[in-house]
Amino acid sequence: MSRFGEPQHDDFRALNDSIAYDRRLGPYDVEQSRAHAAMLASRGIITEAERDQLHAGLAQIAGELRDGSFPFSPADEDIHMAIERRLTEIAGTVGGKLHTARSRNDQVATDMAMFVRAHAQRAIERIESLAATLLAQAEAHLDWPLPGYTHLQRAQPVYLSHHLLAYVWMLVRDRRRFAAVLEASSWMPLGAGALAGVNFDTDRRLVARELGFSHVSPNSIDAVSNRDFVLDYLAAAGTCATHLSRLGAEVVLWSSEEFGFCEVSDAWASGSSIMPQKKNPDAAELLRAKAPRLVAHASALHGVLHALPLTYNKDLQEDKEHLFDAVDTLELSLAAAQGMLASITFRRERLAATANDEFLAATDIADLLVRRGMPFREAHGIVAGLVRSALRQGKALSALTEEELHAQSPLLDQEFYAVLRDGAWLESKVSEGGTSLGRVREQLERARTAIERR
């Protein structure tokens, strides 16, 4: 019997059905149902024989979902209905007992929490693998100087290892965010029923243990309404993708002829359909472009949840496509970033030549004056004057004569030329977290420990 006197309109079905995308929750739905059936039997709500029939049917369904032979029917509205329908086909009317003491509202929230947990875990693994690649590249390019930039203007030289390690620290923070997602998804909604609890004395803790949840959600109303763990995943994914986007952007810039700092390997580049000489860093460009998509998913789900009255509303079905696309995009981006960076080549000569730009030592010359007692602000002005005069004459700073130096400040002597000598102004950055080799080595160790320790 049905409450309804006419069939659903085709356009309503197209709008309402979620089977096209929520089928990927299938394995989680089956696992959840197994645990639920076991609990029902342990509480005497169904018999052990019934539980065994349900388990046998669910095992068959798990296999069908795995090998792609699960017979979806055009009438299936969502994965939960499809699995129950199939279970009844396989096991007979006992299949209808599986939904005792359960609603699709707590069921779908539980599937989603399981899905988020699994993929937060996968994100953590991929972040660690990318970080390991960056650590290896930092170690391999420990003392390769290049210019550091502010405003995309050459500012002060740094070691390439130092620059690469900056991304490792971003990833350390990303991993922390995904660890928080693991916690947020460790509260089991199942057992909340439609919204108020169920009419049976169920054993929620047994189910939670079985499914690997650390806690049962303490409020049935919150349990079926809560999608914070999805928001948390999307937020963490958005931030992580933003880091990959900055990394991608630098690889794009650095592989241009103008910079010439690096070259991505052939496996991570494509050619032009018309210009045979070209090698395009498409992977890096796409990493750069994916971030806004992930951030948009986060903001879209905020929009869905905004002002939504408690408890379950069909609006909540809109959590899925945002999450699924975010998961696919992030996991692929992390893998691509890892592969691209593992095989990238840096150009030592070109990096060194640009890092030797003497103007990058301007701060160091100012500090020379500071060490001789001059206030920094005044020293800044004097060095600016030296730079201006060198630029006007079209010569390097080290080509300025001692007379010219004295004209700017009597405190400037031979020491000025020593400061300009190769490398000196990198090794002078001795403060903790700075770019001198000793400090970078120290940092590399800290980064390695941070990544290895969970």
The residues that are catalytic are 151, 272
Cβ at position 78, least distance to ligand ARG in Å: 4
Task: Provide the mask over 315-334, with x wherever binding to ligand ARG is found by CB under 6 A and - wherever it is not.
Answer: -xx-----------------
105 touching ligand ARG, by CB under 6 A: yes
How far is the C-alpha of 292 from the C-alpha of 242, rounded, in Å? 8
Q: Could you say whether residue 217 binds ligand ARG (CB under 6 A)?
A: no
Q: CA-CA distance, 63 to 57, in Å (whole number)?
A: 10
Min dist. Cβ of residue 111 to ligand ARG (A)? 9
Give me 84's structure tokens: 């129950």
The secondary structure of the chain in percent helix, strand, coil, rounded to multiples of 5, reads: 65, 5, 30
How many residues bind to ligand ARG according to rule CB under 6 A?
Answer: 9
Q: What is the dihedral of CA 110, 116, 120, 123, to 10 degrees?
A: 150
Look up residue 230 and give its amino acid.
V
CB 219 → ligand ARG: shortest distance, Å? 18
x-or-dash string of contact with ligand ARG, 4-23, rule CB under 6 A: --------------x---x-
How many of the other CB atoms lie within 10 Å of CB of 173? 14
DSSP lists the bridge partners of residue 149 as 154
Q: Is 71 helix (H, G, I), strand (E, B) or coil?
A: coil
Closest CA to 280 of 298, 263, 301, 302: 263
Span from 159-167, 289-297, 311-319, 329-337 in contact with ligand ARG (CB under 6 A): 311-319
Residues in Cβ contact with 351 at an 8 Å cutoff, skipping those fewer than 6 apart:
144, 145, 146, 160, 261
For residues 187 and 228, give the distance between their C-alpha atoms in angstroms, rounded to a whole number: 11
Window contacting ligand ARG (CB under 6 A); options: 101-109, 168-176, 257-265, 342-350: 101-109
Among 28, 70, 312, 425, binds ligand ARG (CB under 6 A): 312
Question: Sign of dihedral through CA atoms 68, 72, 78, 82?
Answer: negative
Closest approach of Cβ 34 to ligand ARG, in Å? 19
Q: In this chain, which stretch among 104-112, 276-284, 381-389, 423-431 interacts with ligand ARG, using CB under 6 A?
A: 104-112
- CB 27, min distance to ligand ARG, A: 16
Binding track, positions 21-60, relative to ligand ARG; x by CB under 6 A: -x--------------------------------------
Q: Which stretch binds ligand ARG (CB under 6 A): 56-64, 103-111, 235-243, 385-393?
A: 103-111
Cβ contact 105:311 at 8 Å: yes
Site for ligand ARG in 70-99 (CB under 6 A): 78
Which residues, numbered 108-167, are part of the site for ligand ARG (CB under 6 A)?
108
Judging by DSSP bridges, how do beta strands 187-188 and 345-346 pair with one another? unpaired
Name the residues that contact ligand ARG, by CB under 6 A.
18, 22, 78, 104-105, 108, 312, 316-317
